[in-house]
Structure 1
Amino acid sequence: MGFFQGKTSKQTTRVKKLLGLALSRLTIARRPRLARRSICRSDVGQLLSLGYLHHALLRAEQVIEEDNMLQAFDIIELCCKRLVEHAAHLDKPQECGEEIREAAAGIMFAARWCGDLPELQVARTILEDKFGSDMAVIAKEGTSIVDPMLVWKLSGDKTNMELKKKVTKEIAVENSFMVDFSELQLQEAV
């Protein structure tokens, strides 16, 4: 048996391969998101130049969404790398350190949010078997052990007006525009 010989189990080897494949796919999944973010940022600049502040704020929402997903991909990448590096510890999940448990929980949580990474679905099932249903429930809810930044980036409020104003203002500064949100507040009051 692999346990006595110091080898990893078949499930652990499979998780390692799946996460390696997910790392490769992350590189591919980033490309269209980077392109969409760039296009959206350009659109916000153009809308501001034309004086369409309300439309620019709506487009800024898409910029926020792409930024959040790209940042979530970075966190998922770290989780995958951590689990691949410490795959041998997955055979004894009760002895895993907090770092490995957090990485596993992050993968379990991200699996349902990332259709771009189907390998995470299978990896989640294997990790649930290894770590148990209690941890799986906690991970799926995105509480306690899951990185709060990952939870916020994947499930956070992308329609927050203050955040949209901040992104719009950043893009306006990049394009040397002045933005006056007071006229927007007057329109909302009417």
Structure 2
Amino acid sequence: MGFIHRKTSKQTRKLKTLLHLAVSRIAVARRPRLARKSIATGDVGQLLALGHLDRAIHRVEQVIEESNMLEAFEMIELYCKRLIEKAVQLDKPSECAQEIQEAAAGLIFAAGWCGDLPELPLARTILADKFGNDFASAAKDGTGIIDPVVIGKLDPIHSCHGSLIRNCS
């Protein structure tokens, strides 16, 4: 009897489960990145004191890379939580608010860049089914309604994390 009164589809329930798992995994994936960032930050000062400028620059790039990934994790976590909260709306993607579409597009894009989160490619498949191939293709390419900050944090081609050595324009 409860079968008739479901508020979300089976696919949406699976997506919610994947997103809950991704949020849990983000908490686990953060710890080693925080440790690497902390160690690299300490190394920068020591290397500069010893006069090893090239090695210090490499460590600063590592600090920036870890910081970018940690910030990306925060944004991905917010997207996951937003989609979990608004899961009922996902059954009618054409009626979804801009914030839901942005969260879906952000997760579709992030799925290609976050090997730490194996749930995201599965979630990307479900979101692509819900929103359509055109939406998914645009999101994978980083075009459309994706927050440019997410693109900058995840995509090394578009980010300026190497600006210490080369000019970013």
So what's the TM-score if we normalise by structure 2? 0.91
Tell me the equivalent position of 2:129: 129
Measured against aligned partners, the alpha-carbon deviations of 1:31-63 in whole angstroms (never above 9, x if no partner) come to: 000000001101111101111122211111101
Matched residues in 1 for 2:71 and 2:49: separation?
28
- SS of residue paired to 1:113: coil
Alpha-carbon distance, 1:159 to partner: 1.2
What amino acid does structure 2 have at the position aligned with 1:85?
Answer: E
Q: Is the aligned partner of 1:117 residue 2:120?
A: no
Matched residues in 2 for 1:28 and 1:6: separation?
32
Gaps of 5+ in 2: none
1:1-190 to 2 correspondences below 5 Å: 5=5, 7-155=7-155, 156-161=159-164
Matched residues in 2 for 1:75 and 1:162: separation?
27
Cα root mean square deviation, aligned: 1.8
Matched residues in 1 for 2:92 and 2:6: separation?
11
Matched residues in 1 for 2:27 and 2:45: separation?
27
Which structure 1 residue ranges, 4+ long, deviate > 6 Å from structure 2? none
Q: Identity over aligned residues, as a percent?
A: 61
Alpha-carbon distance, 1:6 to partner: 5.5
Matched residues in 2 for 1:6 and 1:34: separation?
41
What amino acid does structure 2 have at the position aligned with 1:102?
Answer: E
What amino acid does structure 2 have at the position aligned with 1:37?
Answer: K
Matched residues in 2 for 1:142 and 1:11: separation?
25
**Which sits farther off after the overlay, 149-158 or 73-82?**
149-158
User: How many residue pairs end up in the alignment?
Assistant: 162
Matched residues in 2 for 1:60 and 1:161: separation?
9
Matched residues in 2 for 1:160 and 1:136: separation?
31
**Which sits farther off after the overlay, 17-26 or 50-59?**
50-59
